[in-house]
Amino acid sequence: MRAIKKPYAWHAIYTRSRAEKRLFLDLCSKSFECYLPLKKELRQWSDRTKWVEEPLIRSYLFVRVSEREYYDAINSRYAVGYVTFGGKAVPIPDCQIEALRTFLQDENRKVDLCQENLQKGELVEVVGGPLKGVQGEILQIKGQNRIVIRFDSLGTCVYTDVALHHLKQVQLVD
């Protein structure tokens, strides 16, 4: 039995540096269905403070295309190429794009991305903030910033908000 291909699928396009909004406008003007997830940030300059919309995922834009439109969508001076795995652009399920849209609709939710790949059981050291220098074992990761660390020296577990960029992995010394 052959799998039936959907006529349209979401794909991620890798954009030129800081060209996400320009590619979005370019593709929309060509009648492509696009999605550029944005987050609002309060920016401070020397003379003013202003709310700005920044791409949630730098250098990425999502486009919904058919096989026939596949190459037309990438034919822009702001596009670098499709995000691929094993040399093929991987379709993104509709439900994942909708989940991202729903998640970003809550304006009270602070949204950040983290590229760290910390795992339960790893030994980490806090390298910033009030717990700087403290080492412990990760027992749980609850979202982006809420972790449970066991501090053997204290004989207790601490639930705390620590930005993941304030943690570094520590190698066990034998």
In the chain, domain spans: 9-105, 123-169
Q: Check pLDDT > 80 for residue 83.
A: yes
**How far apart are alpha carbons 79 and 22 in whole angstroms?**
10
**Count of all residues that appear for the chain in the document:** 174
- Percent of the chain past pLDDT 90, that is, above it, reads 32
Place of tokens 């058919």: 66
Report residue 121: phi and psi, to 5°: 95, -10
Tokens encoding 69: 């439109």
The single-letter DSSP state of residue 164 is G
Sorting pLDDT into bands at 50, 70 and 90, what band is 155?
Answer: very low
For residues 145 and 163, the answer to whether their CB atoms sit within 8 Å is: yes
Architecture of domain 9-105: 2-Layer Sandwich (3.30)
Architecture of domain 123-169: Roll (2.30)
Q: Which of 103, 92, 74, 135 minimizes the C-alpha distance to 6?
A: 92
Q: Check pLDDT > 60 for residue 3.
A: no
**How far apart are alpha carbons 22 and 17 in whole angstroms?**
11
Place of tokens 């596009």: 79
Return the bridge partners of 60, or none.
14
Q: Is the pTM of this model over 0.75?
A: no
